Amino acid sequence: MTEDMVMSLGAEAVKVMIYIAGPLLLAAMAIGIVVSVIQAITQINEATLTFIPKIIAIIVVLMVMAPWMLEILKQYTADILGNVQEWSR
């Protein structure tokens, strides 16, 4: 396994990780910002107020995007397992 193979494998792993975690993190961040603005406007300083909306948003995004995420993981896994023989030399 050459250095280029290792670097390309690592870059692909990071890309897949961003594709899978990105939508979930963006939804949690957006809900967190909205709830924080509402808390600032109403002057309610409750730290636990953001948990339930974030969980609901993450579940909704996961339900909507799960097929796409599974397809990305399936392609990545097929690529990894398909090239094992080449990389093991």
Q: Where are the domains of the chain?
A: 3-77
In this structure, the dihedral spanned by the alpha carbons of residues 18, 30, 71 and 85, taken in order and rounded to 10 degrees, is 10
User: 45: which DSSP letter?
Assistant: -
Q: What is the pLDDT of residues 32-83, one digit of tens each?
A: 999 999 988 988 888 888 899 999 999 999 999 999 999 999 999 999 998 8
Whether pTM exceeds 0.85 = no
Residues 6+ away with beta carbon under 8 Å from 13:
76
Q: Is 43 left (phi over 0), alpha (psi -120 to 50) or beta?
A: left
